[in-house]
Amino acid sequence: MLRLVTLVDQWRAIQPGLPEEWGAAQLRLIAPDREQAQRAAVLLAPAHPGRLGRAVTFFAARRGDGPSPDLVTRLLQRLDREGIEGQLKLVRTDAEDEAPAVPAETPSSFVAAWEAELAALPDDWSDLYIELELFSTDYLERAALLVAPLNPARDGGNLAFRARVARRFGYGTSPQMTMRCLERLDAEGIRGSVRVLRALSDTRPVQTQGPVWYEGGRSV
């Protein structure tokens, strides 16, 4: 009888194929059923996973404040010990994101991208950290004005803004206002993309403004 490949072994097989300059990698575990996926998401909590059906998505980060490759290995060992099975896949890396993802001749829609990102989230998502990337410096000043309700922050020297979205309460803009801001960008012909960088589910802040993420030693 063939022995099933463990999740740790799958992760170790993925790592040599990562780009040399990778800093963060998005991974997806496809479990045999929803029950195992739910349990996997609980055990992977330190990696801030998101779950949709049988799919659990999480990150490994070689740099910054995200879960390190060693931490991901330890978390997957927990899953192996609990008998959780599945297929572990590499979704993308930040090194791939640096390349142009959308051909110039293909118009993009912020609203369509936002709807696609929301559709991939678990039903109980509560807090998001998102990135709005612009395809030209010509859009920068006008886009900053149009998305001002998001309280956006520039992403270093990149042509991108980052912001928080809160579904029910806490720090962040509502999904409805986020959609209106993206509709404004589309209406003025501003081209770019939006994606979810981090997501949390069913948070319940007690005497706080909600969860805090850290990037480069500062809260966002």
CATH of the domain at 73: 3.30.70
CA triplet 157, 159, 164: central angle to 5 degrees? 95
Task: Give CA–CA dist 163/129, Å, rounded.
Answer: 6
pTM score, whole prediction: 0.49
Do the beta carbons of residue 91 and residue 27 sit within 8 Å?
yes
Distance CA 211, CA 71 (A): 21
Return all residues near 39 (Cβ < 8 A) that are at least 6 apart. Answer: 82, 84
Walking along the chain (220 residues) 10 residues at a time, the average pLDDT comes out as 74 91 87 88 83 83 80 93 92 66 50 86 86 86 92 82 85 90 92 87 63 59
Asked whether residue 103 is assigned to any structural domain, the reply reads: no
The answer to whether residue 1 is domain-embedded is: no
> Which of the listed residues 61, 93, 125 is the one where a domain comes to its end?
93
- Please tell me whether residues 12 and 78 are part of one structural domain: yes
Q: How far is residue 164 CA from its own chain's centroid?
A: 12
Same domain, 215 and 114: yes
Output the pLDDT for position 203. Answer: 67
Q: Are residues 44 and 129 in the same domain?
A: no
Q: How many domains does the chain have?
A: 2
Boundary-marking domain end, from 93, 121, 149? 93
Q: Are residues 185 and 213 in the same domain?
A: yes
pLDDT score for 154: 83
Instruction: Pick the last residue of a domain from 93, 119, 144.
Output: 93
Residue 105 within any structural domain of the chain: no
Whether 148 and 89 map to the same domain: the answer is: no
88 and 126 together in one domain: no
Domain that holds residue 43: 7-93
CA triplet 27, 24, 90: central angle to 5 degrees?
A: 25
